[in-house]
Homo-oligomer: A and B are copies of this chain.
Amino acid sequence: MPAFEDLKIFTGNSHPTLAKDVCAYLGIGLGECSVFKFSNDNTFVQFGENIRERDVFLVQSIAAPVNENLMELLIMIDAAKRASAGRITAVMPYYAYGRSDKKDQPRVPITARLVANLITVAGADRLLTVEFHAGQIQGFFNIPVDELTAVPILARNFLERGLSNVVVVAPDVGRAKRARDTGQTLGVPIAIVEKQRIGNEDRSEAVSLIGEVEGKTALIVDDEISTGGTVIAAANELKEHGAGDIYCYVTHPLLSGSASETLQKSVIKGFVATDTLSVSDEKKNSKTHFISVASLLGEAIHRIHSGLSVGAMFEQ
């Protein structure tokens, strides 16, 4: 097994706080690495310490500005490869382009696969991530992938609230499976909010609901939240059907545009997410709560480095 002292963690500019927290969990310092732009807008990277034969982990979350952060990561990988790193693990707490995972219209890309190819050709040996948009994205890679789940972390937070008479709600049919899995974890029923066209009237869309929610505490679950539109539409529908308190649990808080304010003003009582993405202080408010994945990632990095089972982290 490789010795622990060889482990090195570096970060780009997308989420240095999380990288530092991961290092703190592991009791090591964050490696020195400059990542900046020249006046010609070209990104530049230089590792500030010897990484030959080291076990290198590059922490970079691919949030907005998405393309900037992705290119930073690719250039870091290239630099690490040419600096003779022993093994390079791309640590992407949030993997962008997950929704471009299939051709559901003619002549569109499958960008999630393209990104997998880019990471691989740049020289990464492995990937560590938290919850892809679809599990199948694992198969976009030929290199080993460790996909961690934040569901136990989020569930623990929910259980601590001691709520009762709960229903887990999928805000969209595409998310039904996640609701089912969470429902099974918590031992509660599920419901699904659905956008449907009834009859043949020309594309008039109506939000409807499948399942029972009246008088229940509703837990809307999703993997990520962007503008918040889908979640809030679902919450409103739940209220119309007589739901009680409504909470929203997601893993990846993209919170683009004014999503945070919209949540604050909405019927949702509490919004809980992890910190796989960097959330600025102005996006935090009385309803939002963020739980760190630093120990999750730190433990996984320790296990990857030491040849211990990562799957064992999620066994009960």
Interface of A toward B, CB cutoff 8 Å: 1-2, 6, 38-48, 50-54, 63-68, 70-72, 74-76, 78-79, 81-84, 86, 96-97, 99-114, 117-118, 120-123, 126, 134-140, 142, 144-147, 173-174, 176-177, 179-180, 183-184, 187-192, 194, 196-200, 208, 210-211, 224, 226-227, 254, 256-257, 303-304, 307-312
Q: List 7 A-B contacts (CB under 8 A).
A: A39-B257, A41-B67, A46-B106, A50-B312, A78-B113, A82-B144, A83-B106
Which partner residue on chain B sits nearest A122 by CB separation?
Answer: B114
A96 touches B176 (CB 8 A): no
Which partner residue on chain B sits nearest A174 by CB separation?
Answer: B177
A198 touches B194 (CB 8 A): no
A67 touches B64 (CB 8 A): no
A103 touches B39 (CB 8 A): no
When distances are taken between beta carbons in the complex, the residues of chain B under 8 Å from A72 are 67
Which partner residue on chain B sits nearest A315 by CB separation?
Answer: B106
Distance (whole angstroms) from the CB of A53 to the closest CB of chain B: 4
Which partner residue on chain B sits nearest A187 by CB separation?
Answer: B200
